[in-house]
A and B are shown apart, each in its own frame.
Chain A
Amino acid sequence: METTTLNYREVLKNKEKIVVKIGTSSLTFENGRLNFLRIEKIVNVLSTLRKQNKKVLLVTSGAIAVGAGRLGFVEKPKDLAKKQALAAIGQAELMKIYQKFFAEHGQSVAQVLLTKDVVTIPVRHQNAKKTLNKLLDLGIIPIINENDTISTYEIVFGDNDTLSAIVASLIDADLLIMFSDIDGLYTGDPRFDKNATLIKTVTKIDDNLIEKANGAGTSFSTGGMITKLAAAKICFEAGIDMVITNGKDPAIIFDILEAKEIGTHFHPLKN
């Protein structure tokens, strides 16, 4: 049994240290251009959480899409070096927007670009952990992305799904909220399968579940459900709750924190 009808949502009411992951498809229109209204909404929500004294970290994608927009590219390039160049351009632009929008709510942000070294090299791991915790102590919202210019993991694999779970476990978060372009994990691909239903709670990740998650994704994002399950696995190992939900309306975070049945809740059962 990988899914359950039991409801563990009550635990979400007391979450204090929250990582929010937002992917390219939630930040942009279908043409890959930034959706400022959407960004404004997410900034609004995270600022409110900060004002409630919660600790908030944002893991964001979108650098390549923003870079492509800046240079007037109609389609996202396939060439890796070009993508990395666009990421260097776009990351600076993306931070500028976040800084500007967060400042409107009196919030300060910091840019933290990570590579997978934070997992594999203990010194890097310690440094990143200390830096992030210090930022949180200072009341600052860390805005995290993979360092696309020198690292290719996100570009090739996961639209930051894995990175967000790594960050969550690094700082010992209480909750990872993952915004997607669909409502959560389904029993099939809801775009093609009419009988697909939303799985509300997951307490165990096995091959059967991974099979259900095959496919899913849009032209500007590379993360499907598979990478989200990989992220959930990392969270489970660290004992962290995770919720996958639709990024259309970021204010849904408030409902999630009130234990309402939204999206798919991954709850690690204590042994």
Chain B
Amino acid sequence: MKRDKLRIVFRVEFITLTDNGKDINPRKFDRFVRVVSNLRNSGKDVIIVSSGAIALGLLKCKDKNNMIDENCLTDLQAVAAIGQAELIREYQKFFDEYNQIVAQVLYVSDINGNQERIENARNTFNTLLDMGIIPVVNENDAVSTIDIELNDNYPLAVRIAEITNSDIIIIKSENENEYLIIAKGAKQVIVVKNEIELYDKIKNINKIIVPEGKFPATLKELELLKN
């Protein structure tokens, strides 16, 4: 399928939106949401892949500390069910200030290899994006455990980028205001130091996309492309 719009998967780790994991930092959250809103307004398709269900769930359950064992998978999945609702509420709240609508998509890796379900997921994403909505994707931690075990949502971002036939993945770095950009099939990761640079680079990115190319499968592989 030929699209004229650049399609972006924006991968964010919840911790980068907090005060060292303690609580949401409204200023950081707002900045991130503003960057995404501006990309969306400029006419790009943007999908967010965000962690945070467990972290927010744990924050929410502070007073129930003694009932939760953070090393117990079942406990964490229960916490994720609490936190995911909180997470999407935060996204709704912040995006509303920029006139954007978000949709929650919870991914389960069961659909890998199942063409019909992949097709369904792809259609859902296409419909949401065509409606101008920003999908916020997380692994369905309450029923699926891969993400929890890996403790890293980059592979999910790659999977979503493949399913949705996205052109680039942007990674919000641990360093504030820094972003990594990887175009499909590109041999090099672009590191930008601030948002202005981010918009500038994205404007010119069409040239380096290799349509039949792949994204680096893991963060390790991605690091190797950083020079």
List residues of A whose CB falls within 8 A of some B CB: 28-31, 33-37, 40, 66, 69-70, 72, 93, 96, 100
Contact = CB atoms under 8 A, between A and B. Distances in A.
A35 B97 contact: no
A262 B97 CA distance: 35
Given A29-B43, A31-B43, A34-B41, A69 B34 contact: no
Contact of A33 (B41, B97, B196, B199): B41
A37 B35 CA distance: 8
B99 A37 contact: no
A36 B43 contact: no
Contacts of A93: 99
Of A36, A96, A100, most B-chain CB atoms within 10 Å: A36
Given A29-B41, A33-B41, A35-B41, A70 B34 contact: no
A218 to B, nearest CB: 15
Most A-side CB within 10 Å, residue of B37, B41, B131, B199: B41
A182 to B, nearest CB: 20
Contacts of B195: 37
A100 B196 CA distance: 20
20 contacts: A29-B41, A30-B43, A31-B41, A33-B41, A33-B42, A33-B43, A34-B41, A34-B99, A35-B41, A36-B38, A36-B98, A37-B38, A37-B195, A37-B199, A40-B34, A69-B41, A69-B99, A70-B99, A96-B97, A100-B97
Given A31-B42, A36-B98, 5 more contacts: A35-B38, A35-B42, A36-B41, A37-B196, A69-B41
B132 interface: yes
Interface of B: 34, 37-38, 40-43, 97-99, 131-132, 195-196, 199
Nearest to B40: A33
Contacts of A66: 99
A223 to B, nearest CB: 22
Nearest to A29: B42
Contacts, number: 37
Contacts of B41: 28-29, 31, 33-36, 69
Given A37-B195, A37-B196, A37-B199, A72 B38 contact: no
B34 A36 contact: yes
Contacts of B34: 36, 40
A62 to B, nearest CB: 12
B37 A36 contact: yes
Nearest first, the 6 closest Cβ-Cβ pairs linking A and B are A33-B41, A36-B38, A29-B42, A31-B43, A70-B99, A37-B38
A14 B40 CA distance: 41
A28 B99 CA distance: 14
B132 to A, nearest CB: 6
Nearest to A34: B41
Contacts of B42: 29, 31, 33, 35
Nearest to A101: B34
A152 to B, nearest CB: 25
Contacts of A35: 38, 41-42
A72 B99 CA distance: 10
A241 to B, nearest CB: 30
A121 B173 CA distance: 57
Contacts of B196: 37
A35 B41 CA distance: 7
Contacts of A31: 41-43
B101 to A, nearest CB: 9
A33 B34 CA distance: 13
A35 B40 CA distance: 10
